[in-house]
Amino acid sequence: MLLRIPGVYPPQDDTWLLAGALAEHPLSPLTRVLDICTGTGALALRAAQLGAGSITAVDISRRAVLTARLNARLHGHTVRVLQGNLTAPVRAEYFDLVTSNPPYVPAQDDRLPDTGIAQAWDAGTDGRALLDRICAQAPDVLAPGGTLLLAQSALSGVDKTHVMLEEHGLQVDIAARREIPFGPVLTGRRHLLAARGIITADQRTEEIVVIRGRQHT
Ligand SMILES: C[S@@+](CC[C@H](N)C(=O)[O-])C[C@H]1O[C@@H](n2cnc3c(N)ncnc32)[C@H](O)[C@@H]1O
C-alpha cells in the first residue's frame, strides 16, 4: 500500500508498465538507482524491493517528496528523496539504473504549471517539455554500462526520444508497450488533440511505451 498526499500523482498504468520493465532488469546490492519524477516513490520502492542497493528519488513537488519519504519509511526501505528539477540535485553523481515516468501529456500551451497536480502530466503543446530535457540530461548521470528506463505516451513522439537518446550516445530499444484507454485528462483534451492532428477524432486509446537506453561500457 502506498500513502498519497492530495496533489500527488496516483500510480497508474504507466507506473506499472515501467515497474514491470524494472522487474526484468537485474538489480543487486551494488546497483545505484535514480528515479526522476518519483511522485509517491512507487518505482523507487519497487527498486528497493527488487534488491537495489542504493536508491535516490527526485521530484520537483514538495508534496511528492514528503509522500515518497513517508512511503519509504512505511515500507522500511532507505530511499534518499531530494526535491529538485530532474537531474539537477544529482548532477555530480552516477547511477547504474535511471527510471523516469515524467509528465508527457500534450497541453493547451507551453507554460508548465508550477503548482497543483497538473504538474504531474502537463508537458507543453507537444508533450515533450520534460522528455527532451530528460533525454539530454539522463545520459550524463548514467554510469558506464548503465540503463535508462523512460515511460511516455506514443502521442508525445517515441521516435524523437529514440533519436535524442542515440544522439546522446545510448543504445536504444523498446522495453515494454501497452495500449490503454484514455484517462480523464486525455478524455478532456480529445477535441484539442484531434484539432492538432495528434489523435484521430474517434480515438479513445493511447499507447504507453517504456524506452530503454543503454550507456556503453
Ligand atoms: C506522471 S507523474 C509520475 C509519478 C511516479 N513516477 C509514478 O510513476 O507514479 C510525474 C511526476 O513528475 C514530477 N515533476 C514534474 N516536473 C518535474 C521536474 N521538472 N523535475 C522533477 N520532477 C518533476 C511531478 O511532480 C510528478 O510527481
Residue 170 maps to which CATH number?
A: 3.40.50.150
Query: Within a domain: residue 4?
Result: no
Query: Within a domain: residue 148?
Result: yes
- Residue found under cell 529538485: 84
Domain that holds residue 132: 13-181+208-215
DSSP string of 99-125, one letter each residue: EE----B--SSSPPPSSSGGGGTB--T
Mean of pLDDT values over 35-53:
98
Query: Within a domain: residue 194?
Result: no
Structure confidence at residue 169 as a pLDDT band (50, 70, 90): very high
Structure confidence at residue 15 as a pLDDT band (50, 70, 90): very high
The pLDDT of residue 216: 87
Expressed in angstroms and rounded, the spacing between residue 38 Cα and the centre of ligand 1 is: 6
Query: Within a domain: residue 20?
Result: yes
Report pTM: 0.98
Query: Is residue 44 pLDDT above 90, yes or no?
Result: yes
The pLDDT of residue 103: 98
Query: Within a domain: residue 202?
Result: no
CA 65 to chain centre: 15
Strand-pairing partners, residue 54, are 32
Mean of pLDDT values over 48-60:
97
Expressed in angstroms and rounded, the spacing between residue 104 Cα and the centre of ligand 1 is: 10
Query: Is residue 30 pLDDT above 90, yes or no?
Result: yes
The pLDDT of residue 133: 98
Query: Within a domain: residue 2?
Result: no
The pLDDT of residue 217: 85
- Residue found under cell 545520459: 139
Q: What percent of the chain has pLDDT over 90?
A: 99
Expressed in angstroms and rounded, the spacing between residue 17 Cα and the centre of ligand 1 is: 16
Report the first-to-last Cα separation within the chain, whole angstroms. 37
Query: Is residue 27 pLDDT above 90, yes or no?
Result: yes
- Residue found under cell 507537444: 126
Query: Within a domain: residue 193?
Result: no
The pLDDT of residue 116: 94
The dihedral sign for the CA sequence 91, 34, 68, 75:
negative
For the chain, the domain total comes to 1
Inter-CA distances, 174 with 95, 134, 149, Å: 20, 17, 9
Q: With contact defined as beta carbons under 8 Å apart, do 65 and 81 qualify?
A: yes
Query: Within a domain: residue 23?
Result: yes
Inter-CA distances, 162 with 32, 143, 146, Å: 24, 19, 17
Please give all residues whose beta carbon lies within 6 A of any atom in ligand 1, as ranges: 9, 11, 15, 37-40, 42-43, 58-61, 64, 85-86, 101-103, 119-121, 130
